[in-house]
Amino acid sequence: MVTPLRPGLVEAVVRQAGGVLVGREREIAALTGALGSGRSCVVHGAAGMGKSALLCVASSIAVRSGMRPVRGLRALSGGDTLLLVDDVEQLSAEDADRLARFRGVVVLAGDFDPVSPPPGLADLVAAAVLVPLRPVGADVVAGMIRRRFDAEASPELISLCLDHCGGAPGVLNDVLDLLEPGEVSAGSLRGLRLPRLLQAVRRYWQVLDADAVTVARAVAVLGNAPLDLLCEVAGMDSGATLAAFERLADARLALGEPMRIVSPALSRAICQEMAPDLRERLHRAAAGAMHRRSDPVTAVAEHVVACAEPVGAQWVAPALRTAARLHRAAGRPEQAVRCLRAALREPMSGQVAAQVAIAMADLHLRYGIAPRADELARCWQRLSAEGNPDGALDWLAAVVLDWQCDEDVLGVPAGDEGPPESFRAVAMAMSPLSAREVVDSPVAPALRAFWSGEGAEQVLADLPEHAMPSLVLAGLGLLRSGSSRVLLDLALRDRLVGAENDWLVALQMWAHGANGRHAEVFRLMHSLAERGSPARGCVALAAAAFVSSCVDCGRLREAREMLVRLGYTGTLSPAWVCMMLLHQRARLHLALGSPRAALADAERAGVVELAAEARAALVERPALVRCGAWAKLTPHESRIVELALEGETNREIATRFNVTQRAVELHLTRVYRKAGISRRVQLSSVFGPI
């Protein structure tokens, strides 16, 4: 006779099952009671409900009761054997007949309705104790998250997990294996690939007919759909579609009103199981059918965006543009960008092309979404051929300026007569080698101010609505002419939006530094570094101001840490803002006692006086007083550390010694172990001058 499981043992079993059995105490008690009286059990429920975990409980009960648990049909000897059979609906007719003749205690688990048991097992199921596994609720989901991460989950997180998993604890357990609670979002859940759920889908396909599989795939792609739309996407008549859907509902794969798969996680697994060409064909069919039905344009756009290749219809680009506008208004800029990027692949008129380009530029500038070089080049080619409708190229010029896209990235040489004037103007400002000609463009006054500093105040006073290029060029003109205080006196902030405010912050940091207000420079730098991408010009400009203030104040370590944090320690792009950063980085290297690195940066930035100072320091470099950590290094390791401290990259060191970069990395790894550190940036703290 099997005694009931103690509460402590129940907890141990729950922990052993990875939390899948949280909230299943009633089912565990039913299983324990049935086996204690020598009766067979049938554990039934949909995929992910924890059937396999309950089989583990049955195995534990058998072991502590002196029985021998056996999985599958390997031994049918009866006696003290407890037979555990999972996925019983997959048994062949021969195996089902053997199982029906078994006279011992059996625990069956499967996804089937006990009212209609698998063929040949009706008598066995009728005599067994039924243990149904139903979807769990929000309290169980909260308990699973608490048990796994020892933290309370927010109601929003609980609701998101519950909806995605459809109340299946096994599915949620797999999700929590891949994601931390802070990483769970609608987007991250959509991108998950759950192998066990994919295996369950493939098992379903083995027992379902071809029509049911076709309808299941169509429903998974659509999400939820009325019958007429489902028929069109599946390519079947209404009678056959409805009958196939009912078979899916009987298999507990689908639900009606509206017609949908039981959970988003299972729907996603069905989509992942499909071949890419089949999935794309269904998305195209769904997009076309929903457009003809005048369904919401955001729903249509979702299917177009899911296609790897262009749809090729004239209606697509305007629809995607409208969907992007709606997403942006609803505070979903990332989804808006996805729609616009899909629109760029489609055929469109010049007017629509301008609208798409302006909308894309607006998102890049206001929300800090990084542009792609191929998109900028494609927009430039299209809009230049159309004659720059709606001044769209000026918007793209602002993106080029904000994200430091040089002429090599754009494929737009600064001196070429072909590129549009707005691009030529910005490219010339960004290139230190370009001829200083002023083209006839809306930013011409700002460009003159950038070169000479004259008229900069007037440009800032008369900023247009789209102010990015003029603001940046005129502001830098003031810095060059030594009139940076003007930037602090102008009341501009109320007139600026998005990225324009970040550029004003970077410009004002230079003005604060020039006036000795270094504390304000440090505060603004940390704020901008939190929200700005290092790829943006305003962050590089701010970093240059920050390093300048740090060198002036002697806070060299802070400057070095900020450069490491932003990724500004290696080779920088040739854009003009990075030239300013190279200048200040050379000053930092010189102050840190690394004249070779200072010389390299000063020569690239074209700062003759600083380069001469670095050469002199290199020639007259005094012998350093070294700490005891150097004694642990071999001569070759010492030479590598010296070069690393001077700012040379692993590749540059490898070239100097004519070895592979991997060899240099292995030497540095040994140095890290000897010094008790883990990163290159910590070398100076151990091996720097005393």
- Quick check: is 477 in a domain? no
- Quick check: is 339 in a domain? no
Do 543 and 611 lie in one domain? The reply is yes
Give residue 337's pLDDT band: very low, low, confident or very high (50, 70, 90). very high
Do 106 and 51 lie in one domain? The reply is yes
Do 584 and 683 lie in one domain? The reply is no
For tokens 């240099």, name the residue. 664
Task: State percent of the chain over pLDDT 90.
Answer: 25
Do 683 and 577 lie in one domain? The reply is no
The answer on pLDDT for 400 being more than 80 is no
Do 658 and 594 lie in one domain? The reply is no
Do 578 and 661 lie in one domain? The reply is no
Do 126 and 23 lie in one domain? The reply is yes
- Quick check: is 62 in a domain? yes
User: CA angle, 396 as apex, 390 and 402 as ends, to 5°?
Assistant: 140
- Quick check: is 226 in a domain? no
- Quick check: is 161 in a domain? no
What is the model's pLDDT at position 690?
46
Do 502 and 551 lie in one domain? The reply is yes
The answer on pLDDT for 420 being more than 80 is no
Q: Are 58 and 84 in contact (CB under 8 A)?
A: yes
- Quick check: is 480 in a domain? no
- Quick one: DSSP state of residue 622? P
- Domain boundary among the residues 615, 646, 676 is at 615
Neighbours of 113 (CB within 10 A): 11
Do 118 and 12 lie in one domain? The reply is yes
Neighbours of 276 (CB within 10 A): 8
Task: Report d(CA 684, CA 690) in Å as an integer.
Answer: 10
Domain count, the chain: 3
What is the model's pLDDT at position 408?
46
Helix (H, G, I), strand (E, B) or coil at 472: helix
Q: Are 421 and 440 in contact (CB under 8 A)?
A: yes
Q: Which two tokens stand for residue 141?
A: 């989901």
Kindly report, residue by residue over 627-642, the tens digit of the pLDDT.
667 778 888 888 888 8
660: CATH: 1.10.10.10
Task: Report d(CA 58, CA 115) in Å as an integer.
Answer: 23
List the domain range (segments joined by +) for residue 44. Answer: 7-132
- Quick check: is 122 in a domain? yes
Do 509 and 570 lie in one domain? The reply is yes
543: CATH: 1.25.40
Do 641 and 567 lie in one domain? The reply is no
Do 584 and 635 lie in one domain? The reply is no
30: CATH: 3.40.50.300
Lowest mean pLDDT among 226-230, 462-466, 591-595: 462-466
What is the model's pLDDT at position 417?
38
What is the model's pLDDT at position 429?
45
- Domain boundary among the residues 562, 585, 615 is at 615
- Domain boundary among the residues 132, 165, 181 is at 132
- Quick check: is 469 in a domain? no
